[in-house]
Amino acid sequence: MKLTILFGGASFEHEISIVSAITLKEKLNGFDLNFIFCDQDHTFYSIDAKDMKAKTFSSAKHKKMPVLTLIKGGFSQKKMFSSKEHNSIVLNLIHGADGEDGTIAALLDFYSIKYIGPRVNASVFSYDKRYTKWFCEARGIKSVKYEMLSSDEQKDISIPYPIIIKPSRLGSSIGVSIVKDESQLDYALDTAYEFDKNIIVEPFIENVKEYNVAGFMANGEIHYSIVEEPQKNEFLDFEKKYMDFSRSSQVLKADISDELESKLKKSFSKIYKNMFEGALIRCDFFVVNNEVLLNEINPIPGSMANYLFEDFKGSLEKLSNSLPHSKRAKVNYDYIHSINSAKGK
């Protein structure tokens, strides 16, 4: 299978995207892979597989590699007397801004490039945690209680301590703090506001049961991964999540009842259908008093959550054969011709 891995981007999760791409290079051994790196200046570079090492990017060696431009259906590398086209299916592996906020999705749609990843609408509702909450409310999906704060207005928090504070538009636990009493609040708010002017406040639920499930739709059916119960300390912090982006060994299935597994999959289905088609996503759930609550939607999970699938390669092949097709309006200028005819021109 031919596949182009698009990674990098201008975001706080730029380096994490590089780690994911390097991991998938090893995990997708046997695929015909191309690698396209988007740097922080939004220049696209063609990266040879042998150069898919962290040092290539930290040393700026990538700047000596071929620059690509977007064309209809793919990317193009201009040569002195010809050009080389990269027109295989693109796997959007840009985490955070650019990749998950809809920017890359819009760009790929604009150039009619086939891709695996969330479409624009799905990106909007999953990238901003405020919109995710509203999306859940609209679809009847239960989520953790929350309040919204903005740096533009002063507002008291009514949720009792301990609480957890998160930037609204950021992943990988960057800028996230647990606040156990009022003395820790100002520092936590300052930290979160460094990354986003809008933040989410939720109750911090100690010893909560957490379960992750990934999936995608192919041939009209949702294909689920195993359900994982992640191992964590107080909460899944940046270092733990960072390591997740380089995971490639399959994890053990959670020891849960058939009833709970069914509830988790039902909630996943309500989130996915008519929104995330074309993407492989991971949803993280809390279970409180036997009630399933959505914690987070990961529209481009670390290393594509390969460790949750028994047959990850087969899963990507199924998904790539079931990508949605957007219809384009046909322009034939009939209206302008009719006006000109009426005027005798």
Domain CATH number, residue 170: 3.30.1490.20
What are the start-end ranges of the H helices in the chain? 14-27, 54-58, 103-110, 120-127, 129-139, 185-193, 238-244, 258-272, 312-320, 334-342
Judgement on whether residues 10 and 51 belong to the same structural domain of the protein = yes
Residue 238: the pLDDT is 47
The reply to whether 152 falls in a domain is yes
- Longest CA–CA span in the chain (Å) reads 79
Judgement on whether residues 137 and 187 belong to the same structural domain of the protein = no
Judgement on whether residues 128 and 19 belong to the same structural domain of the protein = no
Judgement on whether residues 167 and 267 belong to the same structural domain of the protein = no
Residue 243: the pLDDT is 52
Angle between helices 129-139 and 120-127 (to 10 degrees): 110
Residue 345: the pLDDT is 60
d(CA 326, CA 71) in angstroms, rounded, equals 18
Judgement on whether residues 213 and 100 belong to the same structural domain of the protein = no
Tally the domains of the chain: 3
Judgement on whether residues 189 and 210 belong to the same structural domain of the protein = no
Residues 279 and 299 sit within 8 Å (Cβ to Cβ): yes
Judgement on whether residues 236 and 127 belong to the same structural domain of the protein = yes
The reply to whether 96 falls in a domain is yes
Residue 235: the pLDDT is 53
The reply to whether 274 falls in a domain is yes
Judgement on whether residues 266 and 129 belong to the same structural domain of the protein = yes
Per the structure, the complete domain to which residue 162 belongs is given by: 147-203
Residue 73: the pLDDT is 95
d(CA 119, CA 103) in angstroms, rounded, equals 10
Residue 81: the pLDDT is 72
Judgement on whether residues 129 and 231 belong to the same structural domain of the protein = yes
pLDDT in tens, the chain (345 residues): 999 999 999 998 999 999 999 999 999 999 999 999 999 999 999 999 999 999 999 999 999 999 999 999 999 998 877 788 888 999 999 999 999 999 999 999 999 999 999 999 999 999 999 999 999 999 999 999 999 999 988 888 999 999 999 999 876 678 899 999 999 999 999 999 998 999 999 999 988 999 999 999 999 999 999 999 987 655 545 455 545 556 667 889 999 999 999 999 999 999 999 999 999 999 999 999 999 999 999 999 999 999 999 999 999 999 999 999 877 888 888 888 888 777 666
Judgement on whether residues 93 and 127 belong to the same structural domain of the protein = no
The reply to whether 102 falls in a domain is yes
Name the amino acid, one letter, at 174: I
d(CA 60, CA 52) in angstroms, rounded, equals 13
The reply to whether 16 falls in a domain is yes
Residues 162 and 204 sit within 8 Å (Cβ to Cβ): yes
The reply to whether 299 falls in a domain is yes
CATH number of 87's domain: 3.40.50.20
Domain C-terminal end among 187, 203, 219: 203
Judgement on whether residues 199 and 211 belong to the same structural domain of the protein = no
CATH number of 212's domain: 3.30.470.20
Judgement on whether residues 184 and 91 belong to the same structural domain of the protein = no
The reply to whether 213 falls in a domain is yes
Nearest to 1 by CA among 36, 21, 35, 30: 30
d(CA 296, CA 274) in angstroms, rounded, equals 18
| Type and span of the H or E element at 292 | strand 291-298
| pTM, entire model | 0.90
The reply to whether 79 falls in a domain is yes
